[in-house]
Amino acid sequence: MKILELFYKLIRFLGPNGFGGVQISPPNEHRILYQPDWDPNVKRPWYESYQPISYKLETRRGTRGELIDMVERCNKAGVRIYADVVANHMCGTDAGIGTGSAGSAYDTEQYSFSGVPFSSGDFNVPQGKCNSHDGQISNYGDPDQVRNCDLFGLMDLDLSKEYVRQKVADYLSDLTSIGIAGFRIDAAKHMWPADVQAILGKLKDLPTSYFNPGSRPFVYQEVIDLGGEAISSTEYTHLGRVTEFRYGRNVSEAFRDGGSNHISNYETFGSGWDNMVPEGDALAFIDNHDNQRGHGAGGKVVTHIDPQYYKLAVTYMLAWPYGVPRVMSSYDFVTHWQGPPSDGNYVTDDPPILQDGSCGGGWVCEHRWRAIKNMAKWRNIAGNEPVKNWWSNGNQQAAFSRGSKAFVALNRDDNPISAKLNTGLPSGEYCDLARGDFDDASKTCSGPTVTVDKAGNADIYVDNNSDEPVLILHVGAIVKGWL
């Protein structure tokens, strides 16, 4: 199937370019949300994947066998797979009677999901455990309601029940048994931390066929905490990382159109800023599949729609030491519910890779944009080196190094950066990885180079009108060393 082609291309690209893993869409059986009266290319919205029908591994993206094959090949290439796990709920109460993407029958009126199986005693609303008048969450000031009522009418599971916990744990164990390295816990804010803990506690170490002995699944929990609600992300940090939504908002404030903050103020950015969680607890990202299209906490983040600003934001994220960074990779869309590029049967297409390495066929593939791609390796090379040589013009221009390993300059101003700056780097002629790629075998650069003198200084020029408003150097891309 086509999706295999996609992942074959991904591993040839991701591993060599320094990407550590991929978060995949929910891999379990989902509702088929066919809307016959909708526009032809949105008849099957993307978000049907967030309406579980069972934990069988068969979706619009492929079969169990295809998933296993992909995970195995990615693991061999050193690229880990993290699954998006929807365990808070099953499908919407509006689904009625039908069958899911793996053919399992359900009946929402009877609270029946035959593929698991779940029945009415496994859900919060029919047991009277939800305190709102209509079974829905409306008051985010009430933690009981947020955890025990239906999010968008999605049938809320009673995860305090041992039977339900075990079904979810069996699903997660199935995922790790096929080589999946960890989980994004969807809607974690809507689950009691004790329930998440009980489920994770049932999991064995990752299998030694793919991982070092004693390895645990990497867990990050989707908790949208932008302040002003009863539940805070720190209620979950003892269980794994949390998605730090303040991070993307703050970085976007510096770079998006009409940005309200200046990058020159970001010298101290990180833990403690705007009550962000400590850096060791954070999953950092600029935008995600929700807020890039106005869902969950949307509207204020920079996305691929503004490539110049987006390259600035992602370059800054990958250069700055905070959290585990996640890079978004998208398909283009007109309406917010539009599903991915797909064939006549709504099976997701593989992205055609064009001559220049970018994606066609409606895929954006931000991770293949040169600056973003080259920043992945930059971050690995920077390692744990501290931020040094911070420079800014007091406005929308900044530059810094990570020790003596890597250097970056960012320009969101109305004029070019044109200055002699201390890069902190050893002397040599460096490939500017925003404008060219480095070939390790021949030590050549396909674009312009930057010369660093014996004192570590270089003439740095970054055009404000360019498509590449950044400059990217690191010690792994030196054309000529020790000048």
From 48, 69, 158, 222, the catalytic residue: 222
Q: How far apart are CB 42 and ligand QV4 at their closest, in Å?
A: 12
Q: Which of residues 277-296 bind ligand QV4 (CB under 6 A)?
A: 290, 295-296
Q: Is 165 in the site for Ca ion (CB under 5 A)?
A: no
The helix (run of H) or strand (run of E) holding residue 245 is: helix 245-255
Q: How far apart are CB 34 and ligand QV4 at their closest, in Å?
A: 13
Position among 51, 88, 136, 243 found at the interface with Ca ion (CB under 5 A): 88
From 48, 58, 84, 186, the catalytic residue: 186
> Coil, helix or strand for 452?
strand
> Coil, helix or strand for 171?
helix
| Angle, CA of 137, 237 and 225, to the nearest 5° | 40
The helix (run of H) or strand (run of E) holding residue 246 is: helix 245-255
Closest to Ca ion by CB, 84 or 156: 156
Residues comprising the chain, all counted? 483
Q: Tokens for 474, please give them.
A: 């690191």
Position among 152, 192, 211, 390 found at the interface with ligand QV4 (CB under 6 A): 152
Q: Which of residues 118-137 bind ligand QV4 (CB under 6 A)?
A: 136
Site mask, ligand QV4, residues 301-320, x = CB under 6 A?
--------------------
In this structure, the number of other CB atoms found within 10 A of the CB of residue 191 comes to: 26
Q: Could you tell me which residues are beta bridge partners of residue 118?
A: 113
Q: Which of residues 43-62 bind ligand QV4 (CB under 6 A)?
A: 47-48, 50-51
Closest to ligand QV4 by CB, 6 or 125: 125
CA 101 to each of CA 27, 51, 72, 117, 157: distance values in angstroms, whole numbers, following the listed order:
11, 11, 23, 16, 20
Q: Which of residues 90-149 bind Ca ion (CB under 5 A)?
A: 147
Q: Is 190 in the site for Ca ion (CB under 5 A)?
A: yes
Query: CA–CA separation, 426 vs 482, rounded Å?
Result: 7
Residues that contact ligand QV4, how many (by CB under 6 A): 22
Q: Is 224 in the site for ligand QV4 (CB under 6 A)?
A: yes
Q: Tokens for 18, please give them.
A: 């320094």
Active site annotation includes 222? yes
Query: CA–CA separation, 410 vs 311, rounded Å?
Result: 10
Contacts of 308 (CB under 8 A, 6+ apart): 467, 469
**How many CA atoms, within 13 angstroms, populate the side-chain half-sphere of residue 158?**
17
Position among 27, 62, 92, 325 found at the interface with ligand QV4 (CB under 6 A): 92
Residues labelled as active-site residues: 186, 222
Binding site for ligand QV4 (CB under 6 A): 47-48, 50-51, 86, 92-94, 136, 151-154, 186-187, 189, 222, 224, 290, 295-297
